[in-house]
Amino acid sequence: MKLRPLSLLAFAAVVFSTLAPASAQTQQEMNAEAVAEFAKADKELNDVYAKVLDVLDDMAKEKLKRSQRAWVVFRDSEADFRADAEARGGSMYPLVHETVRSKLTKERVKALKEYLIEEKEK
């Protein structure tokens, strides 16, 4: 059986769609993916933060809480600044904003995880 070019193209499209994850095509979809990515990073941050709090004494806990509150203000302010600089008033603003928040949150997770590793090595 010989496949026609159109049939072959359709077959390739079906195979490819089952192998590759869906990817956002519209700005709205990209914005939604960025929001979901931030939510995932934020959940991990909260989990790691709780683990760090568990290994600290009371004085250190208060200092970390103060540091974390200040860091959240920084993260959100930095995201506001960068999104405004790159996409003021545009449809890309939410994408840039959430991407920056995700990036900074992942960096914070890494730093807190490193602290946990250091604590275990003591």
pLDDT tens, 52-104?
999 999 999 999 999 999 999 999 999 999 999 999 999 999 999 999 999 99
Kindly state the average pLDDT of the residues 31-59: 97
Rounded CA-CA distance 86/84 in Å is 6
- pTM comes to 0.79
**Short-list 18, 74, 71, CA closest to 46:** 71
The pLDDT of residue 4 is 44
In the chain the domains, ranked by start, together with CATH numbers, are 25-121 (1.20.1270.180)
